[in-house]
Structure 1
Amino acid sequence: MILAKGPVRSREKRTCEEPDFSDMVILLVSPEISLVDEPVKIQASGLPPEKVITLRAWLKDEKGQIFHSRAFYKTDMEGNVDLETSPATGGDFHGVCPMGLFWSLKPVIPFLRLMKRDVMGSPFSLHLELYTLLVLTPLPEDSPAATKVIERWYTAPGVQRTLIREGRVRGALFLPPGEGPFPGVIDMFGGVGGLIEFRSSLLASRGFASLALAYFAYDDLPGYLGEMDLKYFEEAAQFLCAHPKVSSDGIGVVAICKGAEIALAMASYLPQVAATVCINGTNAVNGNSLIYGDLALSGIPYKAERFLITDFGSLSLLNFLDDPGKPEHQDSILPLEKARGPILFLVGDKDENYNSLFFAREANARAVKYGKKDVYLRCYPGAGHLLEPPGSPFCSASQSTFFPLPLTWGGELVAHCRAQETSWKELQEFLRKNVRCSRRNKL
């Protein structure tokens, strides 16, 4: 718990009847050091009763860019504010929202996305500031009445990270502390490419052996995503199953966007995959063709002429993917009924990057048609495309390496971030239930 004190600055001259609240303001935060997917309790006391105040949060990312948020509160009759019970009256959100200052962090420079790259070396240092006035500017000139700094980590103590260069496989393996064996998970992201590790480090912090797998635009992998060879992903699955600290009974796969398409292909064709979580993905091969030995699935052509440019100048890909139900696209649909294990689709119904709810419903209908009973769909009203672990602030649009305009992700602040809290728990429960973890035979 952090206790921060400071003088209350006022632009008005105090009268003899007014109590002096200088040095009485207390800002409490608990815990002061935590993983980013853990909630934080924020309270303030020692303030004038029924006074409007501003709580502001800010941090610098690893490139020095500032992300900030603020909310206005009215103190109670005792001069207290408790974010678990006190409603925000305005600012970046309103209503009772204990984690709202974290959820609503946004960049000073538009269309930047907050993403942790170095998950092992340092946390995000989040600054919380209390002002006894309304703060309307992004960078206030007034001094805060109280401040504190908390640490938000992406890796729990004892988690180990190893860069992987095994055969063609490129990635980073995160192992929980202990001897294991641990349930193994392959973790992939989408069209941004590169190696993204923050979800894997959190999964390892929660007891999974997680391989953050890159598949293009990283190291000696191709700079762009061309033909997708499922043999590469099979090699990654074999590597993870063979690791001495990973259960050999089968692995899980967690992926979003284009990665979710690949995850569904892995589930359909690879016997190592015991459970699959597809976050806002599709039910067919799109754009890039998929090969696996003698098997070849042509990608459904993208419809670039359907791009929409929003009023904010970002690009919506909502209609970029064609309907896989058309007769000419039947051979591109992934045969999920062949999957060894269960499949969980996590979907935001306000996704503006993919029509992911439509694709998930199509996948579910196919499962019913072929008698596969362990395909599940969880739809989150108001959630957008970037369903990430809790603590990841809401991002409605951000810059993209492969497009000239920022991409629109969609969603509504509070609904989306609550969906992140719920889906993160459901994702872990699904993996723990369906990725078995047996002891290996000792030689």
Structure 2
Amino acid sequence: MNSDSKEGVILSVDPLSCLHDEPVHIKVSGLKPNQDVTLRTSMRDVRNVQFVSYAHYRANGNGEVNVNEMKSLGGQYKGLFPMGLFGSLVPAPNEYKYIRFYKRDVENPNIVTVGVYDGHVSIEALCVSEELKPLSSVIHERHYMGPGVQRIPVRYGKVRGSLFLPPDGWLNVRKPLQGDGPFPGIVDMFGTSGGLLEFRSAQFASRGFASLALAFFNYDDLPKFLEEFDIAYFEEAVEYLQKHEKVLHSGVGCIGTSKGGDLAVSMATFIPSVVACVAINGYFAPVERGMKVRDQFYPAFATNNDLLRLSDDGILMASAARPDIKAVEKLILPLEKSNAAFLILVGTDDRDITSEIQAQLARRYFSSHDYKYSYHVESYPGAGHLIEPPYSPHCYVYFLHTIMLNLCMGGTAKYHTECQVDAWEKVRRFFWHHLVEKRKANDEIRSPTIPVKSQL
């Protein structure tokens, strides 16, 4: 349904409201045959920073544009890219251009304005001109939390974070069954941005998982800066999940991106009740800070910072500081001690770390130790560092406040978006298989259809 239109032009976005990991279908009708138009999306993050995307299209002989079937002729991207107006969102021209889209208030949806304009218009004109009005526009909502998902702040011993639970009566659409849990549990972590990021856990809960978004520095009363880690903190987080009445007690999963990746690997190595681990563009040895495991300390390796250079426009590609491979091999955690299956996700255009090399080292380690559980490396050509749930805006560079530099993440919007769609499905299947199907606690729980359409 369009909120504003003129000259008989109708812009439709279907559905008008959906979960954030769901695609939409954008169509325009009522145009002149072969009319040139510009489609534009705009949304703001929690800091009120505006993100925009635009693409140029030409209507067919019937005066219609179907974004799912037609190629963009220019703008933010070219070619067939059905969700390009979402995956290629970038800071508006009047904003600082190296900003990552952050979603902190996951209980509220992202509000996206979609508009269609006459002619092939520049992004500057779209964002600056007060006289330029859309032929038609629509307000679209993208939710991180499905109906009935619960967000519970967590202060358990030293553990700080938020637990997201599927709704009671969570509907499994593959079979006409409802369930009140218990649900498979996941510990969810991100990297050196610090604080608490909840958007992935909110989406896990919307898909039938109990997910603990876990902070480990720069949040609440946790240390303000990265310090040496103690596995006891992460054991306490797993204990919290395992004791919760809504969480299956037969083992939990963990997922981490970047620094969160090597923390997830540490959890899978040293905590027996972690039975499934997803590591996204991370290391398999401690990096930046070491890990204390009871009476033993596992040191972090050092990168060769002498190789670091800033580009002419002030961008740091940290992957250039390649660590000594032999040194890293010596510091790989004793993965053979783990009880977990591993899914390793790699963006081949990761400009932050040498993630492909690290994944190959891990695979070699698993193979040489005849690892008894499953492990799989999934590489995505053209994807960058921040592999997140689908349709998160692709971030090529952002200002990382912990190092006060513009850090390159890599990737191209189209390939990165396609990667996120595929990876999200694989991650959910992986966790469901290892936390539910292989360790079924009761006969009431069944594997969910993927993807599950929301009712918003």
Q: Determine the structure 1 residue equivalent to 2:142.
A: 152
Q: Distance in 2 between matches of 1:304 and 1:127?
A: 43
Offset of 1:214 from its aligned partner?
0.3
Q: Determine the structure 2 residue equivalent to 1:342.
A: 341
Q: Is the Cα contact below 8 Å between 1:309 and 1:315 reproduced in 2? A: yes
Q: Is the Cα contact below 8 Å between 1:5 and 1:25 reproduced in 2? A: no
Structure 1 residue 433 corresponds to structure 2 residue 417: no
Offset of 1:242 from its aligned partner?
1.1
Q: Determine the structure 1 residue equivalent to 2:420.
A: 420
Q: Deviations over 1:157-204 (max 9, x none)?
A: 100011000101000000001220100000000111111100000000
Range with bigger deviation, 53-62 or 200-209: 53-62
Offset of 1:335 from its aligned partner?
1.5
Task: Please give the secondary structure, in 1, of the residue aligned with 2:345.
Answer: strand
Q: Deviations over 1:383-410 (max 9, x none)?
A: 0000001120111000111112111100
Task: Please give the secondary structure, in 1, of the residue aligned with 2:362.
Answer: helix
Q: Is the Cα contact below 8 Å between 2:71 and 2:79 reproduced in 1? A: yes
Q: Distance in 2 between matches of 1:285 and 1:408?
A: 21
Task: Please give the secondary structure, in 1, of the residue aligned with 2:99.
Answer: coil
Q: Deviations over 1:43-96 (max 9, x none)?
A: 001101011100011112221111101000000001000011111000000111
Task: Please give the secondary structure, in 2, of the residue aligned with 1:435.
Answer: helix
Greater Rg by CA: 1
Q: Determine the structure 2 residue equivalent to 1:19.
A: none
Q: Distance in 1 between matches of 2:123 and 2:393?
A: 20
Query: Structure 1 402/55 Cα, relative in aligned 2: closer, same or farther at 3 Å?
Result: same
Task: Please give the secondary structure, in 1, of the residue aligned with 2:402.
Answer: coil
> Residue type of the partner of 2:361?
E
Q: Distance in 1 between matches of 2:37 and 2:133?
A: 13
Q: Determine the structure 1 residue equivalent to 2:172.
A: none
TM-score, normalised to structure 2, is: 0.90
Q: Determine the structure 2 residue equivalent to 1:365.
A: 364
Q: Is the Cα contact below 8 Å between 1:324 and 1:332 reproduced in 2? A: no
Q: Distance in 2 between matches of 1:281 and 1:214?
A: 17
Q: Distance in 2 between matches of 1:228 and 1:214?
A: 12
Q: Determine the structure 2 residue equivalent to 1:387.
A: 387
> Residue type of the partner of 2:421?
E
> Residue type of the partner of 2:333?
L
Aligned residues: 421
Q: Distance in 2 between matches of 1:303 and 1:332?
A: 16
Taking the TM superposition and a 5 Å limit, the aligned residue runs for 1:42-61 are 42-61=26-45
Structure 1 residue 320 corresponds to structure 2 residue 304: no
In the TM superposition, structure 1's runs of 4+ consecutive aligned residues that sit over 6 Å from their partners are none
Offset of 1:269 from its aligned partner?
1.1
Q: Determine the structure 2 residue equivalent to 1:307.
A: 308
Q: Distance in 1 between matches of 2:312 and 2:59?
A: 37
Offset of 1:304 from its aligned partner?
2.4
Q: Is the Cα contact below 8 Å between 1:286 and 1:321 reproduced in 2? A: no
Q: Determine the structure 2 residue equivalent to 1:123.
A: 109
Q: Determine the structure 1 residue equivalent to 2:174.
A: none
Q: Distance in 1 between matches of 2:342 and 2:268?
A: 8
Offset of 1:4 from its aligned partner?
4.6
Task: Please give the secondary structure, in 1, of the residue aligned with 2:2.
Answer: strand
Query: Structure 1 330/422 Cα, relative in aligned 2: closer, same or farther at 3 Å?
Result: closer
Question: Structure 2 stretches of 5 or more lacking a match?
Answer: 169-179, 443-456
Q: Determine the structure 1 residue equivalent to 2:171.
A: none
Q: Determine the structure 1 residue equivalent to 2:133.
A: 143
- Aligned-pair Cα RMSD in Å: 1.3
Question: Structure 1 stretches of 5 or more lacking a match?
Answer: 8-21
Q: Determine the structure 1 residue equivalent to 2:91.
A: 107
Q: Determine the structure 1 residue equivalent to 2:165.
A: 175
Q: Distance in 2 between matches of 1:200 and 1:216?
A: 18
> Residue type of the partner of 1:136?
S
